Structure 1
């Protein structure tokens, strides 16, 4: 059973424990009944801002909502994620419900999860449009979220996000349907980009490509490469670049 399904069941049980209807909860949170229904059935994920409101309403921790029972001694310490990404403290060993009668239960011990802002495919265009207006700070607190295992607790990852990947232009390095953890590159460092894979917004386009030779200092151009030979290469102007993130690793990868 997925984390989202477990979270949905907890949300529904807590609401019923408070003897609240979905309409009453929706009004308290400033959301629609449809949104509440999708949360409880696991068809939609909560933003971290909404997660905090639900936790406060039910007088439970966000850790409990995300991963189930947790003791006070295991409460997470405050972290410095600027958009309220939540580091989830290691849980006690718990049994995760098996989805099929012939499947064994999964024993989870010291699971270290970090909840990061998540940009699904349908949100990438909106993100590109936001940065195309030269706005430097995206409202990450309103973004969807995704729990990721073992994110380094270093300053380099303070503004990490998760991005959904579609298409096969970066195959075999990044598969279609993958979700990758990326960290931002500050504007002043774009001309010094090292070889690697990057998410880049230029004009109103969002692309995931490889940088091999950075010539921004020499001629103001940056050539972007696909790992799949069929994807080809193309150049963009440095003045058209709006945002850059370096791809660190794939948090979720489909198996073909």
Structure 2
């Protein structure tokens, strides 16, 4: 079933008001809906249009949100709210600077990583404090190429956290940034045979990207991809 909104820009503005009324961050909303936060940032910034399915998912997950308001702009925004006694709630979002490894710096990062490399030498990227909650020593890296599309496209920025070398043998089923020999890649680990056969197979999500098996003694660094921070609209 398809539906046409009366005005895309007004729907985007109403979404902003809904998020403010709920009093939770965009990051938390994306987490609740199992979506990428970049999707909602792009909608609110006017770079993407909210789909009918997205609106319905918001209404299903937050039953206190008024469908009349989202579709037609009829207040109150939340069920049970008294528009005559409405007040603005400040929804301040705090930010933290996280070390950022851009594509142009990948080669230097690989060359110096095992030679006393300091994260303080990197530029930084501003992300919400909530996005880093519970993460140890996160950094931001930029995706180069489309071997991990459609989930991670060229130019996407992701937050990664280091995996202790003693835990490398236990990693599987997720997406990881890996340094081996002189390469810095982002791949998926489906089977981990470091303990039994002393190698790790790295897979591309894009069928055209292929896979590579890396001997244990060539691995230099491993980071788990925790969040997509931003992604270009395609």
TM norm structure 1: 0.54
Instruction: Evaluate the alpha carbon distance shift between residue 108 and residue 201 of structure 1 in structure 2; reply closer, same or farther with a 3 A threshold.
Output: farther
Q: Spell out the pairing of 1:233-248 with structure 2 (5 A cutoff).
A: 233-248=211-226
- Residue of structure 2 in register with 1:226 after alignment: 204
> Which stretches in structure 2 are left out of the alignment for 5+ residues?
1-44, 46-88
Partner of 2:131: 151
Return the alpha-carbon distance in structure 1 between the equivalents of residues 198 and 233 of structure 2.
Answer: 39
Conserved? CA contact 2:204–2:211, under 8 Å: yes
- How many Å apart are 1:111 and its aligned residue? 1.2
CA distance in 2, matches of 1:181, 1:108: 27
Aligned to 1:113: 95
Go from structure 1 to structure 2 and tell me whether the alpha carbon gap of 1:203 and 1:112 turns closer, same or farther (over 3 Å shift): same
The number of equivalent residue pairs is 146
Give the secondary-structure state (helix, strand or coil) at the position aligned to 1:151: helix
> Secondary structure of the residue that 1:201 maps to in structure 2?
strand
Q: Deviations over 1:158-210 (max 9, x none)?
A: 30000011100000110111000000001111111131000000011101100
TM-fit CA distance, 1:234: 1.2
Q: Which runs of 5+ in 1 are unaligned?
A: 1-97, 99-106
Taking the TM superposition and a 5 Å limit, the aligned residue runs for 1:156-235 are 157-235=135-213
- 1:4-57 per-residue CA deviation (whole Å, 9 max, x = no partner) reads xxxxxxxxxxxxxxxxxxxxxxxxxxxxxxxxxxxxxxxxxxxxxxxxxxxxxx
CA offsets per residue over residues 62-119 of structure 1, 9 Å max, x none? xxxxxxxxxxxxxxxxxxxxxxxxxxxxxxxxxxxx9xxxxxxxx9831121210000
More contact order relative to length (CA 8 Å, sep ≥ 6): 2
Q: 1:113 touches 1:151 (CA, 8 Å); kept in 2?
A: no
Q: Does the 8 A contact of 1:195 with 1:212 survive in 2?
A: yes
User: Tell me, what secondary structure is at the counterpart of 1:195?
Assistant: coil
Shift of 1:145: 0.2
CA 1:108 to 1:162, structure 2 compared with 1: closer, same or farther past 3 Å? Answer: farther
SS of alignment partner, residue 172 of structure 1: coil
* Distance in 2 between residues matched to 1:182 and 1:216, nearest whole Å: 21
Deviations 1:102-153 (A, max 9, x none): xxxxx9831121210000011111111113xx33x52111210000123243
Partner secondary structure for residue 151 of structure 2: coil
Partner Cα distance (1:119, 1:192) in 2: 26
Are the counterparts in 2 of residues 216 and 222 from structure 1 also a CA contact under 8 Å? yes
Give the aligned partner of residue 126 of structure 1.
108
Tell me the C-alpha RMSD between the 2 structures: 1.8
Alpha-carbon spacing, 1:233–1:189, altered in 2? closer, same or farther (3 Å): same
Whole-angstrom CA distance in 1 between matches of 2:213 and 2:222: 15
Tell me how far apart the structure 2 counterparts of residues 153 and 127 of structure 1 sit (CA, whole Å).
25
Which structure: larger Rg?
2
Superposition TM-score, scaled by structure 2 size: 0.59
Give me the whole-angstrom Cα distance separating, in 2, the residues matched to 1:108 and 1:140: 34
